[in-house]
Amino acid sequence: MQLTLHAYWRSSASFRVRIALALKELACAYVGHDLRIGAQRDPAYLALNPLGLVPALEVESHGQRHVLTQSVAILEWLDDMVPSPALYPADPYLRAEARALVAMIAADVQPLQNPRVLKRLRDEHGANMPASDDWARHWIGLGLDAVEVLLARYSGTYAIGDALSAVDCALVPQCTNAERFGMDLARWPRIQAVVTAARSHPAVIAASPEMQPDADKA
C-alpha cells in the first residue's frame, strides 16, 4: 500500500491525520499545498478533492487508486486498515464518547475559526482583524469548555485513558490553533495536562507543523 498525503503544514485537519499516520508507523509521501496562495484551488488538486480543502489521502493498493478526504473519515479508515495501535476504544460506549469528542472539535469548533471563514468575515461582512480573531476565540473557548468537562470523566495521561487516541489527534491541533489566537491553555487544566503529555509523544512530535517539509523556515 502506497500513501500520499496532500496537506498544509499549519492546517489542523492535516495535523490530525499526520499524528495518526505517525502513530501507526505508516510511511507516507507528502505533498504540501500552500493555502495562503490558493494552491488548494488549483484544478489538479480540485480533481482530487472538489471541496478544495486539505487533507486528502491518495491510496494505491493492489492496482487500485483511491482518494480519501475529510480528516475524521481518514482517521477511521486508518483504524480499519491498521487496527493496532487503535485510535478508538474497543468499548462501544467509550468509543461513542471518543467519536463525540472528535466531532465537537472537528465539526463544532474548528470550522468556525477556519481561515476561510475568518477571511469571509473580513472581506464580505466588514469585520476587522481584531473582530475576526475575537470571533475565533469565542467559538474555540465554548468548545474547549465542553471538552474540559468531558475529559474530567475519561482522561488519563491522554484524552481517553492512557493511550493516544483519535481525540488527541483532534485536540492537540485545536489547542495549537487556540494558542495562535493568544489563548492560554491554563484556562482548561485538564486539557492543558493532556495536551502537554501528548506533545511529548513521538508521533505528535513527528507530525508537528514545524517538522513538515512545507513549513515556513524563517
Give the CA distances from residue 215 to residues 9, 11, 86, 143, 218, in Å, rounded to whole numbers and listed in that order.
5, 11, 29, 27, 9
Segment 23-45, tens digit of pLDDT: 999 999 999 999 999 999 999 99
Whether 174 and 10 have beta carbons less than 8 Å apart is answered as no
Please state, in angstroms and as integers, the Cα–Cα distance from residue 123 to each residue in 34, 51, 129, 154, following that order.
20, 20, 10, 41
Q: Could you tell me what percent of the chain has a pLDDT over 90?
A: 98
* Cross-strand bridge partners of residue 4: 29, 58
Q: What is the pLDDT of residues 191-212, one digit of tens each?
A: 999 999 999 999 999 999 999 9
Q: What is the pTM of this model?
A: 0.96
HSE-CB at 128 with a 13 A cutoff on CA atoms is 1
- CATH 3.30.70.20 fits domain 92-203: no
Residues 139-165 have a mean pLDDT of 97
Q: Residues 75-90: what's their mean pLDDT?
A: 97
For the segment 67-80, the average pLDDT, to the nearest whole number, is 98
Phi and psi at residue 58, in whole multiples of 5°? -85, 135
pLDDT grade for 217, boundaries at 50, 70 and 90: confident
Among the listed residues 146, 149, 195, the one whose alpha carbon sits nearest the alpha carbon of residue 173: 195
Helix (H) or strand (E) holding 172: helix 166-180
Express each pLDDT in 92-127 by its tens digit.
Answer: 999 999 999 999 999 999 999 999 999 999 999 999
Domain boundaries, the chain: 2-84, 92-203
pLDDT band at residue 156 under the 50/70/90 scheme:
very high
Grid coordinates in use for 63? 492496482
Q: How far apart are CA 207 and CA 71, in angstroms?
A: 14
The CATH number of 2-84 is which of 3.40.30.10, 3.40.190.10, 3.40.50.300, 3.30.428.10?
A: 3.40.30.10
Specify the residue for cell string 485538564.
Answer: 190
